[in-house]
């Protein structure tokens, strides 16, 4: 894939048939309902504010990666003001997640996107450690086709990134206890059973609990731990 430099950084130049979209899964940042495990440390408004900041960061990274369209899959509604603002600023499409649990929603998103593209990479909104380089690497793995999938493991036993090509893989999202430390192990088992070949990226850290806040970029002016650093 050829790369050119732009004012926002490097981006890939490709025909639509070669594009690898980046799907971002996100919940509406609502005080008291967003990142509830962070509320004891940040309060309801602080947790929602951090949620918004992380989502903005992930959208920016996905857009700068330049591997293809950025698609924001949201819940519980597409009408939240933060989603509208992101769509206006970044020219991205906002779609409603479809399905009963996270597995069904991810499977449905991949099914829809892979109907039009040769592959896709899906990330959440709460792992700012995923870099532009990580996204480009994941897209490149899928585009080159030597492997069927790519995973980005997290320290808590889950994953923050998954990329898939055209090979049927919906079974990897079935019968998973989402949010538990067995997610990654069970996903690997499903991939082996589905005869998928996959690559794993470096382990990252989701921002789910107060102890995870140390993994936030220190360059953020609103870093929630900045007051304790003095």
Q: Where are the alpha helices (DSSP H) in the chain?
A: 39-65, 81-90, 102-114, 132-144, 183-193
Q: Does domain 16-211 have CATH number 3.90.550.10?
A: yes
**pLDDT for the residue numbered 224:** 64
**pLDDT for the residue numbered 226:** 55
Decide: helix, strand or coil at residue 114.
helix
Report the chain (230 residues): mean pLDDT per 10 consecutive residues: 40 62 96 94 94 96 95 95 93 94 97 95 96 97 95 97 94 94 97 96 96 88 53
**pLDDT for the residue numbered 221:** 63
Domain positions in the chain are: 16-211
Statement: the pTM of the whole predicted model exceeds 0.85: yes
Do residues 71 and 20 lie in contact, with contact meaning Cβ atoms separated by under 8 Å? no
d(CA 29, CA 48): 5
d(CA 153, CA 28): 24
């Amino acid at each position: 894939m050829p790369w050119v430099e732009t004012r926002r950084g490097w981006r890939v130049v490709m025909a639509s048939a070669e594009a690898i979209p980046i799907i971002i899964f996100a919940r509406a940042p609502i005080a008291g309902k967003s990142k509830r495990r962070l509320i004891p440390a940040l309060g309801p408004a602080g947790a929602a504010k951090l949620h918004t900041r992380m989502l903005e960061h992930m959208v920016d990274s996905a857009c700068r990666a330049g591997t293809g369209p950025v698609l924001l899959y949201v819940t519980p509604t597409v009408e939240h003001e933060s989603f509208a603002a992101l769509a206006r600023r970044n020219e991205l499409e906002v779609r409603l997640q479809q399905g009963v649990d996270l597995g069904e929603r991810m499977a449905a998103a991949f099914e829809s996107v892979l109907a039009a593209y040769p592959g896709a990479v899906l990330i959440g909104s709460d792992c700012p450690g995923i870099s532009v380089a990580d996204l480009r690497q994941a897209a490149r793995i899928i585009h080159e086709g030597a492997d069927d999938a790519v995973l980005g493991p997290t320290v808590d036993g889950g994953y923050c990134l998954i990329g898939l090509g055209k090979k049927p893989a919906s079974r990897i999202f079935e019968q998973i206890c989402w949010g538990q430390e067995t997610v990654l192990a069970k996903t690997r088992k499903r991939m082996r059973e589905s005869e998928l070949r996959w690559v794993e990226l470096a382990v990252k850290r989701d921002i789910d609990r107060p102890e995870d806040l140390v993994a936030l970029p220190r360059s953020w002016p609103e870093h929630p731990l900045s007051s304790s650093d003095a």
